[in-house]
Amino acid sequence: MSSRHAEARRRLAEIIGPDGLAVIPGAHEVIRNHDVPHPFRQDSAFWYLTGFGEPDAVAVLAPGHEEGDFSLFVQPKDPAQEVWTGIRAGTAGARADYGADAAYEISELDSVLERMMIGREVLWYSVGNDRFDERVTRIIGDARALRERMGGVVPSTIKDVSVPLGELMLHKTEEEAESLRRACHLSAEGHREAMRFARPGMHEYQVQAALEFFWRLRGSRRNGYGPIVASGANACILHYERNDSRIAEDDLILIDAAAEVDGYSSDITRTFPAGGSFTAPQRAIYDVVLAAQRKGVDLSVPGSTTGAIHDECTRVLTEGMIDLGLLPLSLDESLAMHHYVEFFMHGTSHWLGLDVHDRGSYRLDGVHRPLEPGMSFTVEPGLYVAPEKGEIELTMLAFDREEWAQRRIMMGRAAASALEDEEKENAEKITHRVPEELLGIGVRIEDDILITKGGHENMTTGVPKDVDEVEALCREESALPEG
């Protein structure tokens, strides 16, 4: 994959320019307990630029530098340590296998980087790394002292490298899109197998095992994120990851899980009946979510925005909530007063790539950015009627939805929120009783979308979401042993 990473470095180097120098630290190995580490996963931005998978490395881009544009600082070869933890690339491997123009042992970082800063006016670095910020500050100070002896300039400006990196990572090349496509197709097949495998009486973690067995067998080394396998009312917990409940006969099972391929993660959610058939209340909520999700996918075209997709999905969901008796007022009132957040409290979309919540700005100049070919993201509306929502208190706000949004633009988020909180405190409140048969039902449906020149590609159509197809798949026999 070296050509992929070399192209990413070239694109970033064009932005940095000959007066800049970028420092991008890799991830640090984290101890799980005593002397046992968590499974290591490289920092996504560092991986994007280098493809280097060892911990505690640092990449430096200095376009036009006499020692080369790309320097890599790595852990040294250590035969005694490698017996325990595996073979390291070392400086020779960094050059030969990862395309570094120059390579150094990580212990040399301070002195070499201090020297490389001479003649550079801008340091591109993402502040906020607790393990590295102080070190970078100290190196800049040492470089300034060196400049006084040697002459020349050193960086007087620090720019956030995560901003251009985020823009580059947001727009997928065809090679990146193919890795994402493979992750999506593999993840979809795992979901299909989970639908066949899951049965009442199992524990959620057994269904998780079926997914992961399938992915590992087909070549994915790791999950894209912690799997959510939520049965019954657990599906109303958005980031439920305990996965230890026993699945009951009439439970729905919400699975939000995906595999990683070449570092790229899919992100799929499906909700299906453990017993093979939806109950009438489950089907009623599912139909609303499916209608909203299909609407969101249809709107995923060049020139649209994630904001427009969210607004339209929210409208469809809110109409459904009113029809189901979850909300008591009209559509316009329910939207204006944000009553839908009682049952739909998250965004509809997020960028997707090396990070499951990938990098890149959602707004440009304060407004939602238009979707462009090469952008990948999710469409994932849901409804969550938690058991404790049998009676809800709704605030009758004095301002509508558009006014709320305008306030945040004109006043700033903090000031607008303070004013809104004050108005809410003094506003009229009503109490509404939610239909009992809907309590404890949570449904989310999520697909992964790649914007194309002519529209979009839904990369996760391999796992069904139509009710009849879902029920039919749940009734198929799994090839996996149950225990």
Which residues participate in catalysis according to the annotation? 35, 239, 256, 267, 346, 350, 357, 380, 384, 444, 446
Q: Is residue 60 a contact partner of residue 16, using CB atoms and an 8 Å limit?
A: no
Chain length of the chain = 483
Exposure string of 432-456, with b = 16+ CB inside 10 Å and e = fewer, is bebeeebbbbbbbbbbbbbbeeeeb
User: Residue 106 and residue 466: Cα distance in Å, rounded?
Assistant: 54
SS3 state of residue 373: coil
Residues 6+ apart with CB under 8 A from 438: 281, 284, 285, 324, 325, 326, 385
Q: Put residue 262 in one of left, alpha, beta given phi > 0 → left and psi -120 to 50 → alpha.
A: left
Of the candidates 462, 39, 424, the one whose C-alpha atom is nearest the C-alpha of residue 214 is: 462
Q: Enumerate the β-bridge partners of residue 269.
A: 256, 446
Torsion of CA 186, 191, 192, 193, to 10 degrees: 90
Give the whole-angstrom CA distance, residue 110 versus residue 250: 61
DSSP 227: -
Please state, in angstroms and rounded to a whole number, the distance separating the CA atoms of residues 273 and 282.
9
C-alpha to C-alpha distance for 56 and 312, rounded to whole angstroms: 45
Residue 222 CA to chain centroid, in angstroms? 15
How far apart CA 57 and CA 152 sit, in angstroms, is: 28
Rounded distance, CA 385 to CA 323, Å?
14
Strand-pair partners of 74: 105
Q: How large is the angle between the packed helices 204-218 and 174-197, nearest 10 degrees?
A: 140
Q: How is residue 149 annotated by DSSP? A: H
Q: Position 409: which residue type?
A: I
Give CA–CA dist 291/465, Å, rounded. 11
Three-state DSSP at 440 gives coil
Handedness of CA 333, 338, 344, 349 (dihedral sign): positive
Q: Which amino acid is at 23?
A: V
Q: Which amino acid is at 195?
A: M
